[in-house]
Amino acid sequence: MYVYNSTHDGQSVCLVMGKDKYENDLMVKLFYKEMNAVWFHVNNYSSSHVYMLLKSPIKSDVKLLDFVSQHHINDAMQLCKSNSVAGNKLQMVEIVSTPFINLRKSGDMDPGQVSFKSTRFLSYFTCYARDNTVLSRLEKTKIILEKDIVDSEDFKRLVEVEDMEALEYMNIITSMKTDDVIAPSLEEFLRRCKKSKDGQRIETYVNIYLERLKLVEKLRKKIKKLGKSGKAKVIGGIDYGDFEYA
């Protein structure tokens, strides 16, 4: 699950996006009313599910522009369009939006598929050509929430060769309370959020542990490269092959 920060004119809004159709289903299942979430999707095409998390309670007939600026809405639309195989190729797409509480999911639906309790509460926006400036700005704020990496064999190899970032990560993890670590899965983390009924729990978690989460991303890239090559280059004076730092 990807978390982005959309900031305009001093106002910050949290945008959340599933990385695939299974995470989309997980979010529909475990998001909750107190999150004040508004859902975005490319209309009539497959695309990512993007949620804008508002800080004020909302109803099904919410008017987004009463809460956020058009710039925030544009950010959410660009994420939808750029993460749609078909939509990303088009000069213009229509984006459908509705409060999370208006979404409906039944057991006979395919993964990632949703419908609505009422079509009266759907809003439509037009998203024009892909805006790489917007996407680049959002990418710099992206945090990935998923299972922690402490169980990875490649991560253990980094610890063994005394990779500084791996050791720093281990020090942070051992000092944290169990409930503060995203473990054993994203699903469990979202269940804890839902149980808390705290609408800002995801955003608060990211803000508190931002530096650790950024460190995790660096380590994930290292582990990915290590896994591909099966080797590492010189670390601490030891030759581990052609491993490259991110």
Instruction: Give the per-residue pLDDT at 226.
Output: 80
* Average pLDDT, rounded, for the chain: 89
Strand 37-42 to strand 50-53: parallel, antiparallel, or no bridges (unpaired)? antiparallel
Encode pLDDT of 81-132 as tens digits.
999 999 999 999 999 999 999 999 988 899 889 999 999 999 999 999 999 9
Encode pLDDT of 15-53 as tens digits.
999 999 999 999 999 999 999 999 999 999 999 999 999
Does position 230 have pLDDT exceeding 60, yes or no? no
- Residue 144's pLDDT band, with cuts at 50, 70 and 90, is very high
Instruction: Give the per-residue pLDDT at 152.
Output: 83
Strand order of the β-sheet with 2-8 is 123-127, 93-99, 37-42, 50-53, 11-17, 2-8, 143-144
DSSP string, 187-241: HHHHHHHHHHT-TTHHHHHHHHTHHHHHHHHHHHHHHHHHHHHS----BTTB--T
